[in-house]
Structure 1
Amino acid sequence: MDSRTPATIEISDAERIDHLRLIRSDNVGPRTFRSLVRHCGSARAALERLPEFARRGGASRPQRIASEADARSELEACARLGVRLIAPGEHGYPPRLSELDDAPPLLGVRGLIEVLMRPMIAIVGSRNASAAGLKFAGVLARDLADAGFVVTSGLARGIDQAAHRTSIEGGTVAVLAGGHDKIYPPEHTELLQALLASGAAISEMPLGYVARAHDFPRRNRLVAGASLGVVVVEAALRSGSLITARLANEQGREVFAVPGSPLDPRAAGTNGLIKQGATLITEASDVIQAVEPIMGRPVTLREDESEPLAPDPGEAMRDHIVNLLGPTPILLDDLIRLSGASAAVVRTVLLELELAGRLERHGGGLISLI
């Protein structure tokens, strides 16, 4: 099966340490990392300018910047556990995940690297799944694995677990919400160990990190982003699986839904997805036929196309933009229009606020002041 993966790169050990220091520093997320590196030219140069950006954003206290010793210590701990920290474009970094604007600058990978370079299909669904849902998820995962696809999911109870268990032999990828040494739920530690023999686990979180509620949507963007498409087997009207489906839509991934009884609340979310335009599926061949044309397209790691940052916008413009913000989320495009400033100036002020811990980013391009 040809996934048309791009030629790979390799960063130096020194660059890996700089990347790790930057992404582990306070208030630096994947998007901020990309903006800083693009503006400053390198992670090392960005590290030197972090205090300046945070000060301009109104930081109330000095920003914690990860030290070189911290980075080396984390790399050594990862090596002891068999975890490799891989940058976008390097061999072992899922090619389609590399395309995302918020792709992790370093991805912790454990298991078989080659599995992560193959085409993936995500299967997600209810933790409190029905017997029929569990059976269908298992059959679908097994059939997709037999067809050469890698099944990816979030190692959760219910549908996730069924998808992983039945696709172990073909290779399955578990996307973790916490660190590689903090498996959730704990009872799936044995399942994770079993799938590592022929599959892999990935996480963007540091070792020792225990997943909290807000980390699961963050994990879900990786489940969708690494895959050609996402299959939702069962989902209530308010569920993490619907968040995964929404993220998949935003990322340009295919969204598939398994229909269910209108009387079962666990099917309300999937039936709703079908009404909204998700592809109805009843067997693996429905998924395969839909993704085959996508697989024929080469995966290219595009250059960072985000708006460049500006020099110091100045206090007057900075105050003007900050005054337009508040606790109510606003679209970035609306903020740019209302401010009358260039996109580069607005993005620079937002970056400063974010590094100062004063900005919150929401889904769909919404931002608000903390």
Structure 2
Amino acid sequence: MAAKRTTGTKGQNTASPQKAGPGKGELLSPEQRLDWLRLIRTENVGPRTFRTLINQFGGAAAALEALPTLARRGGRLLPPQTPTRAEAEAEMAALARGKARLVALGEQDYPFALRNLDDAPPLLAVRGRGEVLRGPMVGIVGARNASAAGRTFAQKIARELGADGWVVVSGLARGIDAAAHEASLETGTVGVFAGGLARPYPPENMKLIESVADKGAIVSEMPLTWEPRARDFPRRNRLVSGMALGVVVVEAAERSGSLITARLAAEQGREVFAVPGSPLDPRAGGTNRLLKQGATLVTDAADIIEVLAPLLGRPPESRLEAEQPPADHGPEPAEPAADARARIIELLGPAPTAIDDLVRLSGCAVAEVQIVLLELDLAGRLDRPGPALVALR
């Protein structure tokens, strides 16, 4: 094994100083944090739309003011539902009572590998030790009905990775996830929720979840009391892979959710590792297929460290522009002309279209295209199926 590594990357403070007084390691003032929370909890505003709104309007407060007008231009009669200031304050107070807090994109405790994702959550609810979130991470995932050999191997590589200075991130599920968390409690582990922090899942892992929160950290992008649904787990999986420099799949059947995590990892530019298994064991079907598709074969933690160690010390920059003081805000983006809006909408359909193609084919400025897409998005008429891709509902 390599010598124990202490390399970590601190968040870069790219925002201008705020008069309202952000705390140490924070980019946002308390007022701005409330505005960010209200904006990301607004109907039809996901991480990609949030980032576009912030970059277009210079800050969450200005974006919130623009929402009704944008939605009306997009064809919606009523403005999107937005939490009141009191509701946002109540969510933050409830988080504090549960010994949790909100960490904003780009702040010191925001996982550095997650920052450059197109759909990185602007806010993460975090309970636990912030320093764990600053370390380099490896995802370990696999079957819920894992074999004894699979669990033993997951524990072995988790311990070895921890001894080398890596933090293990996983989804707190039964089987491989639980084994990886248990083995890395003393060296650093992060658990990602599909629902809100007040809705731990699965219930039988409550003791493990509390241990992870106490010795490591648990995180969620969802509202505090959000009940996890089936469609929330792939969303959770993208955070597991997004926080990590690489993802290790220990056991996975052909139709396993762990393969979704592996696919997302590949799409995010992460390294994908797989542990080979017997062709007679259906729990190895997915991992063996990953190996055929080019995943790196793993027989011990050294295989992982050899690939990932050269990637350390290269923190990606956030795609979200920093909040600026109100005095620095430029004028609100102008409304596109009616003919420009019509050309842009005519080019859209149910098939995903690249935003660059919309700009080129419409002959409109980038800012005009972005405004029209925001209008459609807030009106509930737009899908964003991938980075820089849009489709009309």
| TM-score normalised over the length of structure 2 | 0.87
Structure 1: tracts of 5 or more residues without a match: none
Distance in 2, matches of 1:85 and 1:364, equals: 25
Distance in 2, matches of 1:175 and 1:302, equals: 21
Structure 2: tracts of 5 or more residues without a match: 1-5, 14-24, 322-331
Alignment correspondent of 2:22: none
Alignment correspondent of 1:184: 201
Alignment correspondent of 2:7: 2
Alignment correspondent of 2:54: 37
Deviations 1:44-76 (A, max 9, x none): 011000111111111143311221111111110
* Structure 1 residue corresponding to 2:254, chosen from 232, 237, 240: 237
Is 40-49 or 139-148 further displaced after alignment?
A: 139-148
**Equivalent residues of 1:6, 1:300 under 8 A apart:** no
Letter of the aligned partner of 1:206 in structure 2?
P
Q: CA deviation at 1:342?
A: 4.2
Q: CA deviation at 1:343?
A: 4.0
Distance in 2, matches of 1:127 and 1:248, equals: 19
Letter of the aligned partner of 2:350 in structure 1?
P
Alignment correspondent of 1:216: 233
Distance in 1, matches of 2:256 and 2:352, equals: 22
* Structure 2 residue corresponding to 1:352, chosen from 375, 378, 384: 375
1:315 aligns with 2:338: yes
Distance in 1, matches of 2:364 and 2:82, equals: 30
Letter of the aligned partner of 2:213 in structure 1?
L
Cα 1:129–1:332 shift into 2, 3 Å: farther
Q: Secondary structure at the match of 1:152?
A: strand
1:41-190 matches, within 5 Å, as: 41-190=58-207
**Equivalent residues of 2:8, 2:135 under 8 A apart:** yes
1:249 aligns with 2:266: yes
Q: CA deviation at 1:102?
A: 1.8
Corresponding residue pairs, total: 366
Q: CA deviation at 1:310?
A: 6.2
Deviations 1:152-182 (A, max 9, x none): 1011122111111221122211011100000
Distance in 1, matches of 2:44 and 2:140, equals: 31
Alignment correspondent of 1:298: 314
Q: Secondary structure at the match of 1:263?
A: coil
* Cα RMSD (Å): 2.0
Q: Secondary structure at the match of 1:362?
A: strand
**Equivalent residues of 1:5, 1:298 under 8 A apart:** no
**Equivalent residues of 1:6, 1:301 under 8 A apart:** no
Alignment correspondent of 2:384: 361
Q: Secondary structure at the match of 1:5?
A: coil
Cα 1:328–1:136 shift into 2, 3 Å: same
Distance in 1, matches of 2:386 and 2:55, equals: 23
**Equivalent residues of 1:153, 1:163 under 8 A apart:** yes
1:204 aligns with 2:221: yes
Cα 1:275–1:341 shift into 2, 3 Å: farther
Cα 1:36–1:364 shift into 2, 3 Å: closer
**Equivalent residues of 2:11, 2:107 under 8 A apart:** no
Is 152-161 or 1-10 further displaced after alignment?
A: 1-10
Distance in 2, matches of 1:88 and 1:111, equals: 17
Distance in 2, matches of 1:298 and 1:330, equals: 31
Distance in 2, matches of 1:327 and 1:82, equals: 44
Letter of the aligned partner of 2:293 in structure 1?
Q
Q: CA deviation at 1:215?
A: 1.1
